[in-house]
């Protein structure tokens, strides 16, 4: 790449600035839409990822179990690879919780003097193990342990988590896949259509004895620069919309405050644009045969 | 320098050149003439390999070019300066850049490019138009830019296709003087033209084409 | 429009079929992405619309209220424009519900012989009235009625419905707006870039004495045809993906089965494409001045 | 038919025509000559209103055209057939369609288009090329297509800019016969050319331009 090629590319961009600007903006729009799509999928996914946090298993202990046995049982369960957190709920805690949940109707419990509720462990699992088959196996193991009376977990909740997560993941991947393929195609065809009218110029350069790379170089530079500036524009638009605009709205609509924007994604847009512009130009020019 | 042996070129059923055999010596200036559609441009295109022949052999500067590999063609073309009948100026570049292109393709140093381009533009009387774009030039001015581009890099062969079709007699005579000048310094020149004035009384060889066949040869 | 213009447009499309196909596919991709975006927003919205169904107000009645008074109260409330449905829960129903909700712990209630729970109405509101301010005012009215002991509703649930719905609506509108503007822009600029190289042809036609409409007509036809076929391709792609592909997946991932695809949306794609192609060409050619 | 009164045209500082005054009578055949860049094409462009003058008045067929409304220009141009120096053929259309265009613009009936296009192509010797595309024609063949397009619709004025620059003397003489023929049927013709042979011994008026100024007038 000589200074000539660089000057030539800049001159080319400038000579037909309006149509080049249009192409650049097309690339920008494509990248911006992809970014929005990525963010939507990313956020849906991160919400789905949080669902397993809400899942817990309750292990009811036999009445009259000794403190030492309770402690031993808790240690055994805690050491299991499935377990992220285990907490002990005494008979008194259980009664208090029940009263709390009955709220205004709590007076129905007033006549009771001996506490009929069992002590229990509440177990939270590691994310990866929140899976119907695994949980069933794990629950079986615990139920067989000495001192355990019964075990309870939301089987329905579990399978709906599963279904929502895999549904969201599949829909997200399909959507993203279609979006990426679509946007790449549109960017590529923008560059291709743009360079189509240069066929005559390419022909003349060939007849003058220019080699393939001499001919390609300014076009590759033009494509790369357009892609880069398109990416930059998408970055600025993304920054403007997400960091400024959404921050403004989130005070009135709190849900928006939870929207996550990984800045690495935005920052990589100019590079992505450059890559698309460069490869678009390369493909658009095709093989240059003399 | 240039040797055609039984060369034929057919475009989709239309024979443009049939069984042509002729030679051009190093340092010669040859004229090609003949009615419209006789095959003059086709003959020149075969030399710079814009089209390939269906039959026969073409030798340029000691090298067989008729069935040349695509990757060797650019090097061949860099030995040849062409005045295209349809000009082929790049509309997006200034006159200076259009002419400079012929040197940049040959990797000339920037200082040399500048000196040689300006000198050549002066020779064709267009130094003052260096920064204009082709669209802003008259037909004859454009034609002179094409001539400048063909000769600026000192190629060993110059092919000129109707180089004075848009020029008045005085300017045309000036261009012919330039051709004679570079020819006298050793450049082989082939000129296709209808303009008898260009070759009359020069004593140069004139090849007559008719309907794709070489119909005769005489001296101007 | 004469047969000449039509033939001329078809010849134009055919002469440069590859680049025209590319433009057509760009329009198709743009429309397809818009369709996917519309469907996502439509579905998120229809889920959000269902949330108010789950909202209810509980009206506790004074102990010892007569059957006639209860009936009168029910009629008064039912006649209110806010109310979609009202159901009566007797003291016995309330106790049974409590027992059901205690599940395994229900034995705590075994010692109780006189039912301390009040009778109540459960009210579902019309969708449009599920709004914090309106509900508060309505609740105030009811509380003032004779025979009403207390009133309870999920103020928190209500404001989170509100927040989710307005959040989803805002995000959806922003996303859709950006998508529509973006896709229209890309389609327009595709046509504009495509026709840019025809500037020379337009110039020649003008010099030959052609009027603006004579020059425009074939281009408008070309643009319309490309847009139409782009829309048709988007329709076929949409039909393929949503009706066939998703139906196949929904057996393994049930959540996908709930995805709604209004067929009017898909069917309008060819018309939308035609409109975009036509107006794109019209704008791209601009004013033709002699 | 054509009257210029003190007409000047300046392109970004470059005076292409300065204070030109002349007339062409109905049914006349006028030649314009002068060196490359003298302003011949500019003068013709002023007649068909491709450019507007900075000064002076232009009257065509009794109508002032120098400050004409844009919407009246197409009608003016439909009265004029132009042989452009740079051809301006539409590369995406066949020869037939290129020539037919001049009639379609004038809303001619399809049967008439076909008859007249084929007849005109025959006149310029290109009937057999009707279905070819411009790229597949030689330079001189393309030029003859442009001539056919200019005359096919029987305009009241024909402007020809260097119409024989790519034609051999025999073909050129044929074209001149056609021009004489339509001229004798009443068409006003203005031909800009460097080719003395076209006007020598015709007895027609020849306008000489030099650097944008009318430098003289004589008879060929
Ligand atoms: N669009 C333009 N912008 C700037 N200058 C122009 C433009 N068109 C023509 N000129 C200049 O105006 C002058 C006259 O040009 P014109 O084309 O009329 O010459 P001409 O007599 O037709 O020459 P030729 O015989 O070479 O065709 C030339 O010097 C040319 O460079
Ligand atoms: N690409 C092509 N495809 C088909 N036919 C062609 C092509 N190029 C040239 N021809 C035909 O080949 C013949 C010779 O063309 P060529 O351009 O060599 O003529 P020429 O002698 O240069 O004529 P001119 O003096 O008019 O420029 C012509 O009849 C032309 O129509
Ligand atoms: Mg030729
Ligand atoms: Mg001229």
Structural domain spans, chain D:
27-50+73-219
Taking alpha carbons only, the member of C269, C221, C255, C270 closest to residue C6 is C221
User: How many angstroms separate the CA atoms of A229 and A237, rounded?
Assistant: 12
| Mutation choice for ligand 1 from D38, D85, D191, D207, CB with most ligand atoms inside 8 A | D38
Q: Which residues of C touch D102 (CB under 8 A)?
A: 208
Output C176 or D86, whichever has higher pLDDT: D86
Mean pLDDT to the nearest integer, D130-151: 97
Interface test with chain A among B65, B75, B92, by most A beta carbons within 10 Å: B92
With beta carbons less than 8 A apart as the criterion, state whether D11 and B136 touch: yes
Q: Do A185 and C117 touch (CB under 8 A)?
A: no
Please report, to the nearest 10 degrees, the dihedral formed by the alpha carbons of residues C130, C135, C137, C138 taken in order: 100
Specify which residues A86 forms β-bridges with.
A123
Q: Say yes or no: CB of residue D53 within 6 Å of ligand 1.
A: no
With beta carbons less than 8 A apart as the criterion, state whether D199 and D169 touch: no
Interface test with chain D among B168, B195, B196, B200, by most D beta carbons within 10 Å: B168
The CATH architecture to which D27-50+73-219 belongs is 3-Layer(aba) Sandwich (3.40)
Q: Say yes or no: CB of residue D159 within 6 Å of ligand 1.
A: no
Q: Is the pLDDT of residue D197 over 60?
A: yes
Comparing alpha-carbon positions, the chain D residue that sits nearest to B194 is D168
Specify which residues D82 forms β-bridges with.
D159
Q: What is the pLDDT of residue C113?
A: 64
* Cα D27 to the center of its chain, rounded Å: 14
Neighbours of B89 (CB within 10 A): 22
Q: Does D122 contact B at CB distance below 8 Å?
A: no
To the nearest whole angstrom, how far is the Cα of C257 from the nearest Cα of chain D? 51
Interface test with chain B among D33, D44, D169, D194, by most B beta carbons within 10 Å: D194
Q: Does D114 contact C at CB distance below 8 Å?
A: no
Q: What is the pLDDT of residue A252?
A: 61
Give the burial class of C215: count Cβ atoms within 10 A of its Cβ; 0-12 exposed, 13-18 middle, 19 or more buried: buried
With beta carbons less than 8 A apart as the criterion, state whether B73 and A230 touch: no
Condensed to tens digits (0 to 9), the pLDDT of residues C34-47 reads 888 888 778 777 77
Q: Which ligand is nearest to the CA of B137?
A: 1
Q: Does D18 contact C at CB distance below 8 Å?
A: no
Q: How far is the CA of D135 from the centre of ligand 3 (A)?
A: 12
Taking alpha carbons only, the member of D15, D5, D1 closest to residue D79 is D1
Q: What is the pLDDT of residue B195?
A: 93
* Ligand 2 atom, smallest distance to D142 CA: 26
Q: What is the pLDDT of residue D220?
A: 80
| Mutation choice for ligand 1 from D9, D15, D32, D39, CB with most ligand atoms inside 8 A | D39
Q: Do A207 and B101 touch (CB under 8 A)?
A: no
Q: Do D80 and C290 touch (CB under 8 A)?
A: no
Q: Does D171 contact B at CB distance below 8 Å?
A: yes
* Cα B143 to the center of its chain, rounded Å: 12
Q: Is the pLDDT of residue B125 over 70?
A: yes
Q: Which residues of B touch D165 (CB under 8 A)?
A: 139, 162, 165-166
Dihedral pair phi/psi, residue D213, rounded to 5°: -115, 150
Q: Is the pLDDT of residue C170 over 80?
A: no
Interface test with chain C among A63, A171, A176, A251, by most C beta carbons within 10 Å: A171
Q: Do B86 and D139 touch (CB under 8 A)?
A: yes
Measured by CA distance, the residue closest to atom 6 of ligand 2 is D136
To the nearest whole angstrom, how far is the Cα of A209 from the nearest Cα of chain B? 4
Q: Any idea which of B189-193, C33-37, D63-67, D138-142 has the lowest mean pLDDT?
A: C33-37
Q: What is the pLDDT of residue C286?
A: 80
To the nearest whole angstrom, how far is the Cα of D26 from the nearest Cα of chain B? 28
Q: Say yes or no: CB of residue D38 within 6 Å of ligand 1.
A: yes
pLDDT band, very low/low/confident/very high, at C105 (cuts 50, 70, 90)? low
Domain with CATH 3.30.70.3040 in chain A: 56-152
Mean pLDDT to the nearest integer, B122-150: 96
Q: Does B205 contact D at CB distance below 8 Å?
A: no
To the nearest whole angstrom, how far is the Cα of A279 from the nearest Cα of chain B? 23
Specify which residues C89 forms β-bridges with.
C120
pLDDT band, very low/low/confident/very high, at B58 (cuts 50, 70, 90)? very high
Q: What is the pLDDT of residue C108?
A: 64
Query: What residue has token string 């924007």?
Result: A261
From first CA to last CA, the distance across chain B in angstroms is: 21
Output D162 or C51, whichever has higher pLDDT: D162
User: How many angstroms separate the CA atoms of C92 and C98, rounded?
Assistant: 10
Mean pLDDT to the nearest integer, B19-40: 96
With beta carbons less than 8 A apart as the criterion, state whether C185 and A26 touch: yes
Q: What is the pLDDT of residue C126?
A: 86
Taking alpha carbons only, the member of C45, C41, C283, C24 closest to residue C179 is C41
Q: Do C290 and D77 touch (CB under 8 A)?
A: yes
Q: Is the pLDDT of residue D152 over 90?
A: yes
Q: Is the pLDDT of residue C255 over 60?
A: no
Condensed to tens digits (0 to 9), the pLDDT of residues B87-105 reads 999 998 999 999 999 999 9
Q: Do C33 and A98 touch (CB under 8 A)?
A: no
Who contacts B107 (Cβ-Cβ below 8 Å, separation ≥6)? none
- Which of B88, B104, B106 lies at the smallest CB-CB distance from A207? B88
Mean pLDDT to the nearest integer, B51-64: 95
Which chains reach chain D with 3 or more Cβ–Cβ distances below 8 angstroms?
B, C
SS3 D121: helix
Q: What is the pLDDT of residue C80?
A: 87
Query: What residue has token string 């928006």?
Result: A256
Q: Is the pLDDT of residue C184 over 80?
A: yes
Q: What is the pLDDT of residue C235?
A: 93
pTM assigned to the model: 0.84
Q: Any idea which of B81-85, B114-118, C105-109, D170-174 has the lowest mean pLDDT?
A: C105-109
User: How many angstroms separate the CA atoms of A193 and B198, rounded?
Assistant: 44
Q: How far is the CA of B15 from the centre of ligand 2 (A)?
A: 9
Condensed to tens digits (0 to 9), the pLDDT of residues C56-104 reads 888 888 888 888 888 998 898 888 888 888 999 888 888 888 777 666 6
Q: Which residues of C touch D158 (CB under 8 A)?
A: none
Condensed to tens digits (0 to 9), the pLDDT of residues C257-289 reads 666 778 888 899 999 999 999 998 998 888 777
To the nearest whole angstrom, how far is the Cα of A207 from the nearest Cα of chain B? 7
Which chains reach chain B with 3 or more Cβ–Cβ distances below 8 angstroms?
A, D
Q: Any idea which of A104-113, B167-176, C191-200 has the lowest mean pLDDT?
A: A104-113
Q: What is the pLDDT of residue C9?
A: 86
User: How many angstroms separate the CA atoms of B173 and B184, rounded?
Assistant: 16
User: How many angstroms separate the CA atoms of B184 and B28, rounded?
Assistant: 9
Strands of D213-219's sheet in order across:
D80-83, D157-161, D188-192, D29-33, D205-210, D213-219
| Mutation choice for ligand 1 from D42, D50, D210, CB with most ligand atoms inside 8 A | D42
Question: What angle is formed at CA A172 by the lines to CA A170 and CA A178, rounded to 5 degrees?
Answer: 100
- CATH class, range A56-152: alpha beta
Q: What is the pLDDT of residue D121?
A: 98
Mean pLDDT to the nearest integer, C16-23: 89
Own/partner contacts of A6-15, CB < 8 Å, gap of 24 or more, are: A6/A221, A8/A218, A8/B97, A9/A217, A9/A218, A9/A219, A9/A221, A9/A222, A9/A225, A10/A225, A11/B92, A11/B93, A11/B97, A12/A218, A12/A222, A12/B92, A13/A222, A13/A225, A13/A226, A15/B92
Condensed to tens digits (0 to 9), the pLDDT of residues D163-183 reads 999 999 999 999 999 999 999
Neighbours of D23 (CB within 10 A): 12
With beta carbons less than 8 A apart as the criterion, state whether B32 and B46 touch: no
Give the burial class of A100: count Cβ atoms within 10 A of its Cβ; 0-12 exposed, 13-18 middle, 19 or more buried: exposed
Q: Which ligand is nearest to the CA of D141?
A: 2
SS3 D58: strand
Comparing alpha-carbon positions, the chain B residue that sits nearest to D16 is B138
Q: Does the ipTM exceed 0.90?
A: no
From first CA to last CA, the distance across chain A in angstroms is: 21
- Indicate the pairing of strand C120-125 with strand C56-61: antiparallel
Measured by CA distance, the residue closest to atom 1 of ligand 2 is D136
Average pLDDT by stretches of 10, chain A with 290 residues: 81 87 90 84 75 81 87 89 89 81 65 74 84 84 86 76 71 78 86 86 95 91 94 90 71 62 86 92 81
Measured by CA distance, the residue closest to atom 16 of ligand 2 is B39
Q: Say yes or no: CB of residue B166 within 6 Å of ligand 1.
A: yes
Q: Say yes or no: CB of residue D42 within 6 Å of ligand 1.
A: yes
Neighbours of D91 (CB within 10 A): 12
Q: What is the pLDDT of residue A181?
A: 86
Question: Residue C119 gets which letter from DSSP?
Answer: P
């Amino acid at each position: 790449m000589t200074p000539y090629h660089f000057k030539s590319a800049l001159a080319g961009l400038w000579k037909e600035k309006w149509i080049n600007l249009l192409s650049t903006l097309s690339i920008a729009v494509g990248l911006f839409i992809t970014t929005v799509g990525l963010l939507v999928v990313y956020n849906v996914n991160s919400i789905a990822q949080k669902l397993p946090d809400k899942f817990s298993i309750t292990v009811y202990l036999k009445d009259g179990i000794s403190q030492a046995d309770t402690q031993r049982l808790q240690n055994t369960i805690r050491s299991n690879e499935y377990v992220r957190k285990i907490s002990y709920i005494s008979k008194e805690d259980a009664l208090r919780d029940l009263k709390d949940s009955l709220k205004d109707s709590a007076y129905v419990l007033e006549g009771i003097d001996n506490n009929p509720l069992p002590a229990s462990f509440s177990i939270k699992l590691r994310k990866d193990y929140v899976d119907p088959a695994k949980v069933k196996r794990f629950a079986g193991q615990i139920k067989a342990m000495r001192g355990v009376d019964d075990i309870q977990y939301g089987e329905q909740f579990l399978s709906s988590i599963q279904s929502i997560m895999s549904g969201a993941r599949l829909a997200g991947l399909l959507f993203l896949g279609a979006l990426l393929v679509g946007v790449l195609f549109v960017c590529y065809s923008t560059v291709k259509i743009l360079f189509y009218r240069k066929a005559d110029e390419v022909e003349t350069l060939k007849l003058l004895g220019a080699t393939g790379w001499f001919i390609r170089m300014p076009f590759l530079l033009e494509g790369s620069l357009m892609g880069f500036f398109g990416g930059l524009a998408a970055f600025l638009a993304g920054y403007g919309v997400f960091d400024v605009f959404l921050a403004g709205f989130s005070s009135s609509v709190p849900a928006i405050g939870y929207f996550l924007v990984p800045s690495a994604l935005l920052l990589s847009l100019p590079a992505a644009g450059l890559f698309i512009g460069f490869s678009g130009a390369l493909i658009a020019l095709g093989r240059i045969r003399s | 320098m240039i040797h055609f042996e039984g060369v034929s070129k057919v475009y989709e059923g239309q024979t443009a050149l049939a069984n042509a055999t002729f030679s051009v010596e190093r340092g010669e200036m040859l004229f090609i003439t003949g009615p419209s559609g006789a095959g003059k441009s086709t003959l020149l295109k075969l030399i710079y390999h814009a089209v390939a022949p269906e039959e026969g052999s073409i030798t340029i500067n000691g090298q067989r070019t008729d069935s040349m590999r695509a990757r060797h063609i650019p090097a061949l073309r860099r030995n040849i300066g062409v005045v295209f009948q349809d000009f082929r100026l790049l509309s997006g570049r200034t006159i200076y850049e259009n002419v400079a292109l012929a040197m940049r393709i040959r990797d000339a140093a920037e200082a040399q490019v500048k000196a040689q381009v300006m000198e050549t533009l002066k020779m064709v009387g267009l130094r003052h138009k260096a920064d204009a774009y082709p669209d802003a030039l008259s037909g004859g001015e454009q034609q002179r830019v094409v001539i400048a581009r063909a000769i600026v890099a000192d190629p060993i062969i110059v092919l000129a296709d109707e180089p004075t079709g848009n020029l008045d007699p005085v300017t045309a005579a000036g261009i012919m003087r330039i051709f004679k000048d570079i020819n006298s310094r050793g450049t082989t020149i082939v000129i296709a033209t209808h303009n008898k004035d260009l070759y009359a009384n020069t004593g140069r060889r004139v090849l007559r084409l008719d309907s794709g066949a070489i119909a005769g040869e005489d001296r101007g």
